[in-house]
Amino acid sequence: MRDKASTGDAFMLGTNETLDAASQQRNIFVYSAVLALMYLSAPIIYVGFVQAALCKRLHTSDTIANLPNTLYLAMAWCPVVTAWLFPKARQLKPVLGLGFAAMAVASAAVAGLLLLPVSNTVIIGAVLVHATLLGAANGVVFMLSWEALSRGVAEGQRGRALGLAYGWGPGFAVLGSLWGQMLMDGKVLGWKAPAWMAASYPYSYALLFAATALTMGVAALLVPLYRLPMPTAEPERQGFREAVLGGFKTIARHRVLLIACIAYLLVCGANTIQTNMSIFTHEVVGRSSEDLAGYQLSLRFSFKMLAGFLLGWLLTRTHAKVPLLVTVGLQIIAVLWVMLVPGYWFLLAFGLNGAAELSGVYYMNYPVAASVKSEVRGNLAFLMLASSAIGLAPVCFGWISDHWGLRASFVAALVLLGFIAALVGLKLPAQPKPFAEN
């Protein structure tokens, strides 16, 4: 039962407790603040550019430089298993706080090792372990933050929360990225930073990881501020097969849903070419990828802000397939831009690719729209489990690069993206209908 949801005065979600407007406002603040802290930590939280730059500084191959991204993506199964292990609402805040705490501890450990007299092999190993732990924890906190929002804010008020978090959130990522650029390069946007504001290796990377430890620690402290109503009855843990693999049969027997899920997995895998795009910096402008990683991330999130508003408007004005075609088109343009545009203008490719990253949102939205409401959770659980295979994509692109060059990996990405565009354009209807209604 819910009353006054649209006005935000108070509402109930099958609980014994009515959540008033002040509590909802507090939940919106906590949700937005936590997202802002994660965006502020983008240079480290968004595994890829900085980790690849650090690996290349330590003279690794392109395959190893892509491995942190691979390990991060390979942990996509963790949210599903976490949801199965901890199904009760009262477990939400403790597990969410633990996820942020794990990210803080892992980041602090890498920062400490960078300052110790240890071998490059140890540092590379620490970066790989950190990426693995981040992949596990980040997926869990993302899933549980969404649940906290759904439990703690009335449906009519969630637009405010999402607008605040995702409208302004990427702006914090821009700030964090520019700060990271200043640390690694000593200057930002042509302004040379004073000596006390810049740092040389290894202190530049140590500060980035230490700052992430601080922001994730603050996020962990904010989690208890959520005020969430508890259900009158808590579900018991189901068998693993029923809880995690329940969507397999539904997806397999629904052709449109199956194609949509395949397209989602492929487009997420294709997007990992961005690590090789960053490594390509040296060939285009003669500077190492770490020298420009902050600018690349800044463009990535600036364009993502603009695309977020545009794609949302397109979805309301057209149908579910249009954002799919637009985002895959942006990815194709981004890869072509890297290959064909000389000089510093090539950096705009990272903005285009950042906008295309929203494919993860809209390619997920399509399977949701194609699912019966009672089967959405099971279908997405299976899709998240299957998405762990995406972790193979970056290391495959790195392997292609090591054997045939970076341009060959871009050609491979273009072939994959072209196949996705054809699959979506020819095989998916404009507006999917749930399987039961077909």
Q: What is the DSSP letter of 238?
A: P
Chain mean pLDDT for the chain: 80
Q: Is residue 211 located within the same domain as residue 303?
A: no
2, part of any domain:
no
Cis peptide before 235 (omega within 30 of 0): no
Q: Which of 51-65, 122-136, 150-164, 283-297 has the highest mean pLDDT?
A: 122-136
Rounded Cα–Cα distance for residues 108 and 116 (Å): 13
If one compares 9 and 278, the residue with the highest pLDDT of the two is: 278
What is the three-class DSSP state of 48?
coil
If one compares 313 and 280, the residue with the highest pLDDT of the two is: 280
Rounded Cα–Cα distance for residues 179 and 269 (Å): 29
Q: Is residue 251 located within the same domain as residue 102?
A: no
Mean pLDDT of 392-420: 92
Which residue, of 164, 192, 226, is where some domain finishes? Answer: 226
Give percent of the chain above pLDDT 90.
27
CATH code of the domain containing 200 = 1.20.1250.20
Whether the pLDDT of residue 437 is over 70: the answer is no
Antiparallel, parallel or unpaired: β 19-20 and 187-188: unpaired
Residue with tokens 């995702």: 166
100, part of any domain:
yes
The pLDDT assigned to 325 comes to 94
Is the CB of residue 257 less than 8 Å from the CB of residue 250?
yes
232, part of any domain:
no
Lowest-pLDDT range, 77-86, 115-124, 190-199, 258-267?
Answer: 190-199
Residue 60 to residues 120, 130, 250: CA-CA distances in angstroms?
10, 17, 44
Q: Is residue 242 located within the same domain as residue 141?
A: no
Is the CB of residue 124 less than 8 Å from the CB of residue 60?
yes
The total number of structural domains that make up the chain: 2
SS3 content of the chain, % helix, strand, coil (to 5): 75, 0, 20
Which residue, of 226, 261, 291, is where some domain finishes? Answer: 226
Q: Is residue 145 located within the same domain as residue 185?
A: yes
Give percent of the chain above pLDDT 70.
80
> Over the stretch 217-263, which tens digit does the pLDDT of each residue have?
999 999 999 988 877 776 666 666 666 665 566 677 788 888 888 99
Which residue, of 195, 226, 257, is where some domain finishes? Answer: 226
> Over the stretch 59-74, which tens digit does the pLDDT of each residue have?
888 888 888 888 888 8
Q: Is residue 53 located within the same domain as residue 147?
A: yes
Whether the pLDDT of residue 379 is over 50: the answer is yes
Is the CB of residue 174 less than 8 Å from the CB of residue 298?
yes
Q: Is residue 219 located within the same domain as residue 244?
A: no
Class of residue 426 by CB neighbours under 10 A (exposed 0-12, middle 13-18, buried 19+): exposed
The residues that bridge with 10 in the sheet, in sequence order, are 20
Work out the number of other CB atoms within 10 angstroms of the CB of residue 90.
11
Is the CB of residue 410 less than 8 Å from the CB of residue 275?
no
399, part of any domain:
yes
The pLDDT assigned to 13 comes to 46
149, part of any domain:
yes
- Per the structure block, which two tokens stand in for 55? 């690996």
- State the DSSP H helix or E strand holding residue 192, giving kind and residue range, or none if neither: strand 191-192
Q: Is residue 310 located within the same domain as residue 268?
A: yes
Work out the number of other CB atoms within 10 angstroms of the CB of residue 430.
9
CA atoms within 13 A on the CB side of 397: 31
19, part of any domain:
yes
**Rg for the chain (alpha carbons), in Å?**
22
> Over the stretch 100-130, which tens digit does the pLDDT of each residue have?
999 999 999 999 999 999 999 999 999 999 9
What is the three-class DSSP state of 174?
helix
Whether the pLDDT of residue 26 is over 60: the answer is yes
Whether the pLDDT of residue 388 is over 80: the answer is no
1, part of any domain:
no
> Over the stretch 202-217, which tens digit does the pLDDT of each residue have?
888 898 999 999 999 9
Is the CB of residue 184 less than 8 Å from the CB of residue 207?
no
Q: Which of 130-139, 185-194, 275-284 has the highest mean pLDDT?
A: 130-139
> Over the stretch 329-376, which tens digit does the pLDDT of each residue have?
999 999 999 999 888 898 899 899 888 887 877 787 777 677 765 565
Q: Is residue 87 located within the same domain as residue 205?
A: yes
251, part of any domain:
yes
If one compares 59 and 293, the residue with the highest pLDDT of the two is: 59
Q: Is residue 81 located within the same domain as residue 200?
A: yes
- Per the structure block, which two tokens stand in for 118? 């240890």
Q: Is residue 214 located within the same domain as residue 246?
A: no
Mean pLDDT of 279-294: 77
Class of residue 204 by CB neighbours under 10 A (exposed 0-12, middle 13-18, buried 19+): buried
Whether the pLDDT of residue 24 is over 90: the answer is no
Q: Is residue 208 located within the same domain as residue 297?
A: no
What is the three-class DSSP state of 371?
coil
Contacts of 391 (CB under 8 A, 6+ apart): 69, 70, 71, 72, 73, 74, 75, 76
The pLDDT assigned to 66 comes to 82
Whether the pLDDT of residue 310 is over 50: the answer is yes
C-alpha dihedral (157, 158, 164, 169), degrees to nearest 10: 170
Q: Is residue 324 located within the same domain as residue 279?
A: yes
Q: Which domain holds residue 259?
A: 238-438
